[in-house]
Amino acid sequence: MLKDYVSKYLPIETNQTDLTNVKLSRIGKLLGMSSELEVELVSYIVKMQELCFGQTVNQIRHLAYKSAEQSGYQHPFNKTKEMAGWFWWVVLFACQKNGWVNTDLFLELFNYYLVNIPPQRPVILLLDSHANHLSPQILELADKNDVHIGTLPSHTMHLLQPLDVGLYKPLKSNWKKELDAFMHSHPGEKPNRVDFSSLLTTAWLSTFIPQTIINSFRKTGIFPIDRCAITDQAIADLLVTE
């Protein structure tokens, strides 16, 4: 079933079986604004709340856009709608103190996912088996939108998660190269939040290329489907023993 879905909906330039020429429609945009502007914005929101003038999510997104425009900051926000992106809001404000994603936050992210994926259906979404990913609301939304959720077994991310298997290591390597180059060209300086975004974007674009992504899925055996991709020796430590 997975093979049929992927062969039907994977955006391939030549034909449905050629996995060496995959065209990614987009990598994504840079998020946000400078740290100084974000601090000013948060201070304003808190002040307005204290005065009993709480701001809605869309009002805050409009404020972020106007603030970035007036400051002359080169931002990635939508100039037609004149507002910051939804994902910017989620990243900046929707967070837990302990850093973990809870059910409510994942529901926000899942709604963002639904409005940004292509219209073709069905869609397979592979997740880890964390309980917050499988709430009744998520399952109901997935069913209504013809999204088929598959979960990876616990303690197998190092074997079955394509990011862990084939992307994080080269990302770290490319990040180190960019950071070393920055330190060489800016002796005595530490990269600030804006520098971080720029450096990470370069490292990200160098890492998340079609062939590397394809190889990551191939190594896990997810696609092309390969039951022998993970050897018995690799999972020996995961087996229950007496």
Tens digit of each residue's pLDDT, the chain (242 residues): 444 434 443 443 434 444 445 444 444 444 567 777 877 888 888 888 777 777 788 888 888 888 888 888 877 788 888 988 877 776 666 655 555 667 777 888 888 889 888 899 999 999 887 776 778 888 899 999 999 999 888 888 899 999 999 999 999 999 999 999 999 999 999 888 778 888 998 999 999 999 999 999 999 999 999 999 988 888 877 766 54
Question: What pLDDT is recorded for position 9?
Answer: 39
Distance between CA 5 and CA 19 in Å, rounded? 14
Q: Please name the residues in contact with 189: beta carbons below 8 A apart, sequence gap of 6 or more.
A: 183
Question: What pLDDT is recorded for position 229?
Answer: 92
Q: Which helix (H) or strand (E) holds 111?
A: helix 103-116
Q: Which domain holds residue 208?
A: 2-27+123-238
Residues 20 and 131 in one domain: yes
Q: Is residue 56 part of a domain?
A: yes
Residues 14 and 40 in one domain: no
Question: What pLDDT is recorded for position 59?
Answer: 87
Rounded to the nearest 10°, the torsion over CA 147, 148, 151, 157 is -60
Distance between CA 83 and CA 179 in Å, rounded? 31
Q: Is residue 101 part of a domain?
A: no
Question: What pLDDT is recorded for position 213?
Answer: 95
Question: What pLDDT is recorded for position 99?
Answer: 56
Q: Please name the residues in contact with 215: beta carbons below 8 A apart, sequence gap of 6 or more.
A: 166
Residues 15 and 130 in one domain: yes
Q: Is residue 41 part of a domain?
A: yes
Question: What pLDDT is recorded for position 155?
Answer: 83
Residues 193 and 232 in one domain: yes
Q: Is residue 113 part of a domain?
A: no
Residues 51 and 140 in one domain: no
Distance between CA 62 and CA 84 in Å, rounded? 6
Q: Is residue 224 part of a domain?
A: yes
Q: DSSP 3-state assignment of 128?
A: strand
Total domains in the chain come to: 2
Residues 39 and 140 in one domain: no
- For 33, the token pair is 């604004």
Residues 217 and 140 in one domain: yes
Residues 231 and 155 in one domain: yes
Q: Is residue 48 part of a domain?
A: yes
